[in-house]
Amino acid sequence: MTTPKFYTTQEVADLLHLNVKTVRAMINQKRLRAVKIGNEYRVTDDHIRQFIEENQT
């Protein structure tokens, strides 16, 4: 099993060219899957890929 790479909400925001508040809102709305570790969310590379695939036009 491969260990997934985890991204902070700031790193996800930078990758997707979004505001960090937008990323947190998407997590709270269950549009973007995340894992809560302590007080911060972490998003795996697989979750980012899945989000992109599900939101293609």
Domains in the chain, CATH or no CATH each: 6-54 (1.10.10)
Q: What is the pLDDT of residue 56?
A: 92
pLDDT at 46: 95
The two beta strands, 35-37 and 6-8, are unpaired
Query: Which pTM value belongs to this model?
Result: 0.89
Burial of 3 (0-12, 13-18, 19+ CB in 10 A): exposed
Q: End-to-end distance of the chain based on CA atoms, in angstroms? A: 32
pLDDT in tens, 2-57: 888 999 999 999 999 999 999 999 999 999 999 999 999 999 999 999 999 999 98
pLDDT at 36: 95
Residue 55: CB atoms within 10 Å: 10
Residue 38 confidence (pLDDT): 94
